Homo-oligomer: A and B are copies of this chain.
Amino acid sequence: MSSIHLVVMAGGSGTRFWPKSTSKKPKQLLAFGKGGKSLLAQTLDRFVGVVPDNQRIIVTTELLADAIKADAPRTKVLAEPQGRNSAPCVYWAARVVADQDPRGVMLVMSADHYVPKVDAFRECVRHAADWAKSHDDLVALGVTPSRPETGYGYLRLGERLNGGPSKVEAFVEKPSFERAKEFVKAGYLWNGGMFVWRADMILRAFDEFMPEYKTAWDSSNAQVTRAYPQMTATSIDFAIMEKAKNVVTFPLDCGWDDLGSWTSLEGVADAIGARHAAGVLSAGELIAVESQGLIVDAPGRLVAVLGLDDVIIVEQGNAILVAKKDRAQDIRLLVDAVKKLRPELA
């Protein structure tokens, strides 16, 4: 029987939740709403009873390793010398799992996603793990779309396999709104970046599509600081999933959201207890007069808004963000400037 292993990718250093997120405290270490637990801690909680503590691995960067260890003290942490996107991260984790059990099943998850319906999530993961144990397939969890979202990639499905998953015919890039509507109508699923496979199968795929990784790893005698600089920085999607022929998917309907920007809080406001008459209030107090569609996060502060619609207002430390909501994807423009003027606040 194959053992089961959780691999949590926690190296992200995104800027889209600045100033709540910073380079030293990225999204996976943040709590949203009234929960109190970080997204990373919530991710680990999701696998209680599914994967034992000693078969869990978090992969992050050296910069974040101490903070990650403090947030997840019982979990093994692999610290990458530098972030090189998800493919090297998955390869390293696969080698670690394979050393223990070459046919071990890996559940590859992001540390910073949001999953409100945990039971549905766990059921889907169990189906995927069962399939991967006994089939030489790579499973991508496919999120049932709740809207024609343009911010996600999509999975185009092929035939349904007997009693199990559907074949994935193609990974499709983020579409226009018109295309997204067609995709939803045609039954495409969102690519949630969550994968399930046996270690031997993903390593075989790496050997086929990224043979340099094995060369780098073996020639450095599995010394990550020597191997990493030789491994192309690329995503697991691009390196493997878009090329492999043995990709299948199980549909996942659990309210999943990747929390890609401040505006994504609008979709999960009810679930995290952050709904306010004037929009979303995930921390602090809000008085809004003739203002609608706000997104406010200001722990311990009173925010008073007058005559403004569709604005994001965030306070953290010594930084205050005020941004038009339709510019939520461009907050990095501000962070770039902050890095120059006040690097300690970025």
Contacts and interface: CB of A to CB of B under 8 A. Distances in A.
A338 interface: yes
A321 B302 CA distance: 9
A323 interface: yes
Contact of A302 (B287, B290, B311, B345): B345
Contacts of A333: 289, 306
A289 to B, nearest CB: 5
B334 A289 contact: yes
Interface in A293-346: 298, 300-308, 311, 313, 315, 318-324, 326-327, 330-331, 333-334, 337-338, 341-342, 345
A306 B319 CA distance: 14
A50 B211 CA distance: 88
Residue of A290, A302, A304, A338 with most partner-chain B CB within 10 A: A304
A334 B302 CA distance: 11
A323 B306 contact: yes
A320 B313 contact: yes
Contacts of A302: 318-320, 338, 341-342, 345
Contacts of A300: 318
B287 A304 contact: no
Nearest to A298: B320
Given A334-B287, A341-B287, A307 B324 contact: yes
A285 interface: yes
Contacts of A334: 287, 289, 304-306
B323 A303 contact: no
Contact of A342 (B285, B318, B341): B285
B287 A337 contact: yes
A104 interface: no
Contacts of A318: 300-302
A340 to B, nearest CB: 9
B319 A19 contact: no
Contact of A322 (B313, B319, B327): B313
Given A300-B318, A318-B300, A305 B289 contact: no
Interface in A23-79: none
Nearest to A322: B305
A301 B285 contact: no
B311 A320 contact: no
Closest 10 CB pairs of A and B: A307-B324, A306-B323, A307-B327, A304-B334, A287-B337, A302-B319, A303-B320, A306-B327, A289-B333, A305-B322
22 contacts: A287-B337, A287-B338, A289-B330, A290-B327, A298-B320, A301-B318, A302-B319, A302-B320, A304-B322, A304-B323, A304-B337, A304-B338, A305-B323, A305-B334, A306-B322, A306-B324, A306-B331, A307-B323, A308-B323, A311-B322, A315-B315, A315-B320
